[in-house]
Amino acid sequence: MHKRRLGVVAAAAGIALLAACSSGNGTPTSTAGATTGAAATTPAAPVTITYEVWAGTQTPAMKEIAAAFTKENPNITVNVQELPWPQYWSTLQTGAQGGTAPDAFWMLAQQIRPYAAGGQLLDISDEIKAENVDLSKYPKAVIDLYDQGDGKIYGLPKDFDTNAVWYNKALFDAAGVAYPTADWTWADFRATAKALTKKGVWGTAAPIDYQSGYYNTIFQAGGRVIAADGKHAALDTPEAIKGIQFWTDIMKDGSSPTLQQMSDTEAETIFEQGKVAMYMSGAYWALQLYNNTALRPNIGVAPLPVGPAGRATVSSGIENVGFAGTKHPQEVKKFLLFASGQEAANIQAKSGAVLPAYAGTEQTWMSAMPDFKDLQVFIDASKYAVPLPVQGNAAEWQGLQTQYLTPAWNGQVPVEQAAKDYSAAIDKVLAAG
């Protein structure tokens, strides 16, 4: 399963502020950190820390990173634990409240706020300063996404992503349709999707997907998701409405499976089955598609189409963070810096698992999948990327998208009305703090 950005678990989204916990998991506390007397020369006791992740395609690389860290730190063993996406967040919430959260784990920008505000995350600012970590090596947009305004640093990015259009060359060839060009427009995309839609094949897929879908077109139309003051939604502005209507027009054309069909079978799966010709998604999907050896020779990548206001793609990334209640804070801090550092980034890159956040490792990632000739598109997209909107309790208000946007996707209400209703709902969440 590739790295998921959607389907935020309601339980995780709905929590107010997680209560701080003082207990943690793992083996007995080590003597690491002793600096005086006999203890200073006594080898640290062996420690095992847990590192929880959710994406199956990345797990082998995460285990290799853990092993590389232990090679450098023989007394610290890292136990990588993988959970399915929904279970990951529900388990993390329960663990943070009960003091049984993993020592280290992955975090998303739209999920971090309640954990940080509740004192659940380890502050690694001191370790970053002590180790002279160069923050300029990481995409500023991703660093800024995780800034909670409290002067603390809770983690560092392990990866980042931009969006592009994955397409099936065989379906283009069968329909006699030209491949996408670097300068194609919204009108070109829509016309191409119509031309590719034949019996049993759709030109594209248009799920209600904020990160891979309508956020991108909102910015391409010159709109915003959240107003500049960060206190109000902006989905009901003419520009944002135009960005949403890009997708409802595609649904109206019949160029996409219905929402019900994409509920029964995920859009990504329909694409991999050869029934969808184009699909907007992130760099994180690359390895899964590459591992589909039957589909691999037919895969192409094109930039997102140019909108009325120009180019844009939202960008985000996973951060490695630690649990404030861990019994091994120094060991965890050390691992977090390693897991987001250059050596770990190169391990990720060589596996093709994900586009690393550490500058200078992008070419290694592309070289890991030599049959994909167009991956540079994702790197180039960083030049016009905008940060994923995550103001306030983003997990909560993003979790409302299906409720408010489904009627517009299904043609039951005008886009303007759906956007107005959703904006009002977002405003309530933002006002709640």
Query: What is residue 13's predicted lDDT score, i.e. its pLDDT?
Result: 37
Measured over the CA atoms of residue 99, residue 100, residue 103 and residue 104, the dihedral's sign is negative
**Domain boundaries along the sequence of the chain:** 47-161+317-360, 163-311+390-431
Instruction: Quote the pLDDT of residue 198.
Output: 94
Homologous superfamily in CATH for domain 47-161+317-360? Periplasmic binding protein-like II (3.40.190.10)
CB 280 within 8 A of CB 6: no
Residues present in the chain in total: 433
Domain 163-311+390-431: CATH class, spelled out: alpha beta
Note the Cα 195 to chain centre separation in Å.
31
Q: Which pLDDT band, with edges at 50, 70 and 90, does 43 fall under?
A: low
Asked whether this chain's domains 47-161+317-360 and 163-311+390-431 adopt the same fold, the reply is yes
Tens digits of residue pLDDT in 212-264: 999 999 999 999 999 999 999 999 999 999 999 999 999 999 999 999 999 99
* Mean pLDDT computed over 386-405: 95
**Cα–Cα distance, 265 to 212 (Å, whole number):** 17
pTM reported for the whole predicted model? 0.86
In the predicted model, is pLDDT for residue 281 greater than 80? yes
Give the C-alpha separation, 51 to 67, whole Å. Answer: 12
